[in-house]
Structure 1
Amino acid sequence: MSRPNTQSMKPATAAKKLDVYLPATPAEFQENAITRAELAALQADPPQWLQDLRKHGPHPKNLVAAKLGVSIAGLARGGVSDALTTEQIEQLLADKPDWLVAERESYQEVLREQRRLKAVRAQKARGS
């Protein structure tokens, strides 16, 4: 990779932009700054390690939460504190533990309320 400069980013930032779990990336990726050009190249033509991480995980919490249909706080309430693999996520979806069912229902309620409030604000903005 390259040395830090104004056009480079920390590995954690690059991992976030790539939607991968930093500790699961290769040591070379974790230990070096990544330039914008290198990030663009990784996005355009992902190497095998990146393809494997995206497919099998472990996945960062934001992706785990999205795949399970819950919030990140819901993961914590459910006792999920670590990154999960695709297989572990699929197992949770198949088993449907009580906490997951409750958190999914709660998250859907929150999303419905957000949509309702957005519609109310849009209605007010139109002056009706």
Structure 2
Amino acid sequence: MKSHQTTQTMKPATAAKKLGVYLEATPAEFQEGVVSRTELNALQVDPPEWLRELRRNGPHPRPVVAAKLGISIAGLARGGVTEALTTEQIDALKRDRPDWLDTERATQAEVRKEAVRIKEKNAERGGQPRRPRS
């Protein structure tokens, strides 16, 4: 008996997320079809010009914008950024350094410090998670 392997496919939104691009900025044929795992791998290994352009100049999805600014996605929302931004807009924010961005960067730095502290504390305990009290 021969087993038939089905091709794994994903919705365009999932593929765009994995590629780190804003779905609405991708070509119509990408948005309207399905993407196979093989096609996704090919896009990652040898990106076409439209993908290189989106990665370079945007518009970028919120997770990418947040990472480029060094803040959380929630921090973007608190700062009033709800839409995708281009690289130029991100660079302008970095240059202008609005108060909310400085505040969110400080908050993110504290979150990272706390995560390191917790990780070190867990390592001291031998990696055992803390049991809840009864």
TM-score (norm 2): 0.89
Structure 1: gaps of 5 or more residues:
none
Instruction: Tell me the SS of whatever aligns to 1:125.
Output: coil
1:1-128 aligned at under 5 Å gives the runs: 7-125=8-126
Q: Which residue type is aligned with residue 53 of structure 1?
A: L
Residues 121 and 52 of structure 1: is their aligned pair in 2 closer, same or farther, counting only changes over 3 Å?
same
Bigger Rg over Cα: 2
Q: Deviations over 1:5-33 (max 9, x none)?
A: 75110000100110000000000000000
Structure 2: gaps of 5 or more residues:
1-5, 129-134
TM-score (norm 1): 0.93
Residues 126 and 104 of structure 1: is their aligned pair in 2 closer, same or farther, counting only changes over 3 Å?
closer
Q: Deviations over 1:9-64 (max 9, x none)?
A: 00001001100000000000000000111111111110000000000000010010
Runs of 4+ in 1 over 2 A off after TM superposition: none
How far apart are the structure 1 equivalents of 2:24 and 2:43? 17
How far apart are the structure 2 equivalents of 1:36 and 1:6? 7
Instruction: Provide the identity percentage.
Output: 63
Decide which structure has greater helix share. 1
Computed over aligned residues only, the root mean square deviation of the Cα atoms, in angstroms, reads 1.3
